[in-house]
Structure 1
């Protein structure tokens, strides 16, 4: 990932939080016939390994776990808040006109060698953890044990587990840090007037970067 110094995101807690908040990862690995891309909801176990471990599962019918290059590192990309930025929000548009649109975003890339596991107890434990995490916001959370045991056992036979110990975790926060200070403030104001969670989340990130930086 291209990482200018002003867009680097090295805060491990922030990167882990991004993964946990946006757990659907784009998993890219090398297969025998070329690159293989899958979109998998991952669980991040922060305490397993020096950089954490990603845990998920795929359908047994998915050829990825039979055809990936077992010794070749793969990458899982997680996308956080992102939004288009119009130069119409920049005071610089009126002052000098030397402004153009851009796109702000946050991303985390987890690199590591994937492994497959098929142990029934380990799979069940993973399904319980995934379910508990994602059902937590519900008023009456669904549990794996709520379904008939034979039904769950049948479905478990149709999946395999994937774990990716993270060897390297890199992140990018593109939040207008390379723009003029007044244009950054104008972007926050413009986003605040936009509907939707993505715009408000990006406004928060830009404001946080402003609060952290020193005004020239």
Structure 2
């Protein structure tokens, strides 16, 4: 991912705050020699606590074909992208130039986490990991706890493997016209409001947050 200096995260707080509100991404695992990488969409739980950057907790079905590759090379990449919109060319046209001379572009927020994966197979540890995920995604409760060997979910544990991802490095990008003039950014904010499409509001908030008047 190319990150220009003006699109880089301002500090760790910016990407941590954004990631805390996003819990679905794509896990990329290096393929075995001669094979392409595995890319798995999944829900995850980001925990900012452990280590310098925190950790990620998730799980997948035991029959998943990526496990041998993951065991051979535990270095993985978790990619999370959201708040993306298409920006028509006229929105970016420089003042005094024809609108059709403006260059189309994309706005988006992206965080890539380079991680070292630890497979969790111990039944008790796996049950605890699943309970933490459930508490995150279902804070209102309503589900029985996961207990190894006990109903209703204990019998399902052998069919899953947990994953704990230690975050080694973070690359974050917030591409929202950070290098454009205030006049062009004001026009873009107005156009996003007028269009009102999916994710336009979130993109506008990034645009204004990173480029205050």
| TM-score higher than 0.5 | yes
Deviation of the 1:197 alpha carbon: 5.3
CA distance in 2 between counterparts of 1:107 and 1:180 reads 23
Q: Gapped runs of 5+ residues in structure 2?
A: none
Q: Does 1:13 align with 2:16?
A: no
Alignment of 1:167-182 (within 5 A): 167-182=168-183
Match of 2:205 in 1: 204
8 Å CA contact 2:45–2:58 kept in 1: the answer is yes
- 1:25 is aligned to 25
1:90 Cα offset (Å): 4.5
CA positional deviation for 1:141: 3.2
Please identify runs of 4+ aligned residues in structure 1 that moved more than 4 A. none
Match in the other structure for 1:45: 47
Distance 1:143 1:14, change over 3 A: farther
**Shift in Å at residue 72 of structure 1?**
5.2
Paired residues of 1:127 and 1:144 also in contact (CA < 8 A): no
Query: What displacement does 1:146 show?
Result: 9.4
Show the counterpart of 1:4. Answer: 4
1:114 aligns to what? 117
Aligned length: 208
CA distance in 2, matches of 1:156, 1:58: 11
Structure 1: gaps of 5 or more residues: none
TM-score norm. by structure 2 comes to: 0.88
What RMSD in Å do the two structures reach over aligned CA positions? 2.3
> Where do residues 1-216 of structure 1 align in structure 2 (5 Å cutoff)?
1-32=1-32, 33-68=35-70, 70-71=72-73, 73-90=75-92, 92=94, 95-97=96-98, 98-136=101-139, 140-145=140-145, 149-196=150-197, 198-211=199-212
TM-score (norm 1): 0.87
1:55 and 1:195 map into 2 onto residues whose CA distance is 34
Measured at CA, do residues 72 and 80 of structure 1 come closer, stay the same or move farther in structure 2, by a change above 3 Å? same
Contact 2:146/2:154 (8 A) holds in 1: no
Q: Secondary structure of the residue that 1:3 maps to in structure 2?
A: coil
Q: Secondary structure at the match of 1:68?
A: helix
Contact 2:144 2:152 in 1 (8 A): no
